[in-house]
Amino acid sequence: MIKKEPPVPSLRDDLRAFEQAMSDARKLKGPQRVRLAPAPPSPGAPHKRVAGHPPSAQAASEPLPFTIEQDGEAWTARANGIDRAFLKKLAAGKVAVEANLDLHGQSRKETLRALDRFVSAAGNARALLIVHGRGLHSGDEGPALRDTVRDFLIRGALAPRLLAAAAAPPSLGGAGATVIWLRRPSAG
């Protein structure tokens, strides 16, 4: 007997469920917001866009634009369509972390490889914790791993899967860790 897999929900289904869960949330005033444009496609890569859909419903291979907020060491990033109330829950540790990765002591190159493997191996897990440290031993260049992780999440190979990211709450490492919320992996 062939076991039939249930269909994988689309980003639209995710956003609809999220909006339903956050229907009673109210907007909060917050720090300055900056909208980043999506990273340009790599040379030779076809530019994909789903006709008739807003950018938040674009193909999974294309990075989404993010709204970035920074307040001291705390920071958040959210894709279009992700509510600030959910981001606040993520940053407060009210979303259960399903897997974590500790990058202490790794080089930038090792960090990028480890992040890619970690997210690929996460399967259906959506809330992940990345421990990178605060950069106290990074020297004059500043927090090498923290900045590498943040840049890779919003501009690198992980950007198409990222829906939200925030500095972790103090109980999970504070500014020395980042908690992320991923879109469900696409089927195929």
Q: Where are the beta strands (DSSP E) in the chain?
A: 33-36, 66-71, 74-79, 99-102, 127-131, 162-167, 177-182
Taking 60 as the threshold, does the pLDDT of residue 50 lie above it?
A: no
> 71-188 sits in which CATH class?
alpha beta
Identify which has the larger pLDDT, 42 or 102: 102
Higher pLDDT, 138 or 83: 83
Predicted local distance difference test score (pLDDT) of residue 184? 84
Does the predicted TM-score (pTM) go above 0.75? no
Percent of the chain past pLDDT 90, that is, above it, reads 28
Q: How far apart are CA 187 and CA 176, in angstroms?
A: 33
For the chain, the domains span 71-188
Residue 107 DSSP label: -
| pLDDT at 22 (0 to 100) | 78
Q: What is the pLDDT of residue 97?
A: 95
Amino acid 120 reads S
- Bigger pLDDT: 148 or 49? 148
| Cβ contact 8:186 at 8 Å | yes
In this predicted structure, the answer to whether residue 179 has a pLDDT above a threshold of 50 is yes
Token pair of 51, please? 């006709």
- pLDDT, averaged across the chain: 76
- With contact defined as beta carbons under 8 Å apart, do 93 and 171 qualify? yes
